[in-house]
Amino acid sequence: MDFWNIVLQMAVYPLLGMLVVWLVKLADNKRAPFDEDKAMLLESNLAVGLRKSGICLGLFLALAGILSGNSSKILADLWNFAQGAIMIVILLFVTFEINKRIILRKVNNDEAVAKGNVAVGAVEFSTLVGTGIIMNGAFTGEGGGLWAAGVFFALGQIALVIVFYLEAAISRRNIQEEIEIKGNIAEGVDVAGILIAISIILRAAIMGPFTGWIPGLEEFGIYLALGLVALFAFKALARKIFMPRVSYADEMDKQRNEAVAIFAACVEISVAVVIANSM
């Protein structure tokens, strides 16, 4: 590895990533109907902080996928980085719209975050980070190009929506109302955990060389289905082992026990990491 490739990896690419995040931050500030910088910096609005953190982490995770396996030609690598970055930024704002119109559709997301609804901020954080994780896997593969990355982005968004509503159906709790109307942080964290967990599994399913649409789509569907079964099964097992004397539904909705929600989310993410690394 020559000196200039090391410089690119250690300095130039992180700086370019910071530049992309800064430009997206400016665009999001224009999009939002309130002063997000004031809310985060002067009002210590945690919901806005979670949104901004999700944007930053999601972007860097996706950009890291572009850089994996880069060539020895610096200009070609920079061109690929620029193309991928533009696509990622566009798709990130598509994620915002999916959040607003499909997942958290009962309230205005911007108004909820402006008022400090941390539960909404937590779900936004998880979908942005989850999108970054999935895009990291899509860009890590070779042979599919931007077209394949765009298709797997769309499939990833469909998967996140399915998981959100499946969690609500299986738990038989009114998760949307708890998050959007009541601002229940425990529910927001609980949902965030499983969305990030399934994203980790899906990343492992789509990364690697692109071998064709049929095998790629089949593998994506299989790992989505089996991953969900594994996550819900281990979540139920964790409740039996670590919380045998309490009702999880009561802890989420009546007690609003954020500590329990964080623990459950970490169990799901930990299981997802093990599954992804065993694939």
Give the HSE-up count for residue 63: Cα atoms under 13 Å, Cβ half-sphere: 25
Q: Give 173-218 as a DSSP string.
A: S-HHIIIIIS--HHHHHHHHHHHHHHHHHHHHHH-S----HHHHHH
> What is the residue-level pLDDT of the chain in tens, covering all 279 positions?
566 667 667 777 888 889 998 999 888 888 889 999 999 999 999 999 999 999 999 999 998 888 776 555 777 778 888 888 899 899 988 998 898 889 988 888 999 999 999 999 999 999 999 999 998 988 876 555 678 888 888 999 999 999 999 998 988 888 989 999 999 999 999 999 999 999 999 998 887 666 777 887 888 888 889 988 998 998 889 888 988 888 998 999 999 999 999 999 999 999 999 998 887
CA 275 to chain centre: 18
pLDDT, position 17: 86
pLDDT at 144: 56
What pLDDT sits at residue 260?
92
> Within the chain, what is the greatest distance between any pair of CA atoms?
61
**The pLDDT value given to residue 13:** 80
Q: For residue 136, give every residue at least 6 positions away whose Cβ sits within 8 Å of its Cβ, in sequence order, or none.
A: 61, 62, 64, 65, 203, 207
3-class DSSP state of 235: helix
pLDDT at 116: 95
In whole angstroms, give the CA distance from residue 168 to residue 171: 5
- What per-residue confidence (pLDDT) applies to 75? 76
